[in-house]
Amino acid sequence: MRAKDHPAMRRYVRRFVPITVGYMASIALATFIIADNAPANALTIGLALLPGLAVLGWLWAMARLLVELDDEYLRMLEVRKMLVATGLTLAITSVWGLLELYSPEVPAMPVFFVFPMWCVGLAVGQLVNRFGFGDPGDCG
């Protein structure tokens, strides 16, 4: 069995794709309906939270992957990617936060960027698996 043919991997992709479509659709909807500088009300808050549900869905899908992946080596590769992503995200946001605190010229980093940054960290983790340990894994 190839890694990408593992049932847990296939379930992960089947979950990931519709969640991603939902995220993109909800972002488009919120951008289309909510005008710039619109006052906060129940509608704008509700629309803003919709993409947040998709982000929670991604996190759930990744958690299920780790639970359902019964191949310990493939699971180790995925966990290593997530650890690299977490380390990078903590490093960047923590150092940037200190710069914001003590250097008023440094622009505030929107918290929105934390999750995309973590996802970029997953790609870095895959590179670490490939070049540091000679195995990229197949989870993307």
Partner 1 sequence: MKNRLKVLRAERDWTQGDLADALGISRQSINAIETGKYDPSLPLAFRIADLFALPIEAIFMRD
> Does 105 engage in binding with partner 1 (CB under 8 A)?
no
Nearest to 85 by CA among 54, 55, 115, 52: 115
Query: How many Å is the Cα radius of gyration of the chain?
Result: 18
Closest to partner 1 by CB, 68 or 135: 135
> Does 36 engage in binding with partner 1 (CB under 8 A)?
no
Among 73, 90, 98, 112, binds partner 1 (CB under 8 A): 73
Distance CA 77, CA 74 (A): 5
Task: Find out whether 74 and 6 touch, Cβ atoms under 8 Å.
Answer: yes
> Does 2 engage in binding with partner 1 (CB under 8 A)?
yes
Q: Report in angstroms how near the CB of residue 17 gets to partner 1 at its nearest.
A: 22
Nearest to 92 by CA among 68, 124, 132, 51: 124
Q: Report in angstroms how near the CB of residue 63 gets to partner 1 at its nearest.
A: 21
Distance CA 57, CA 22 (A): 10
Closest to partner 1 by CB, 73 or 112: 73
Q: Report in angstroms how near the CB of residue 76 gets to partner 1 at its nearest.
A: 7
> Does 71 engage in binding with partner 1 (CB under 8 A)?
yes
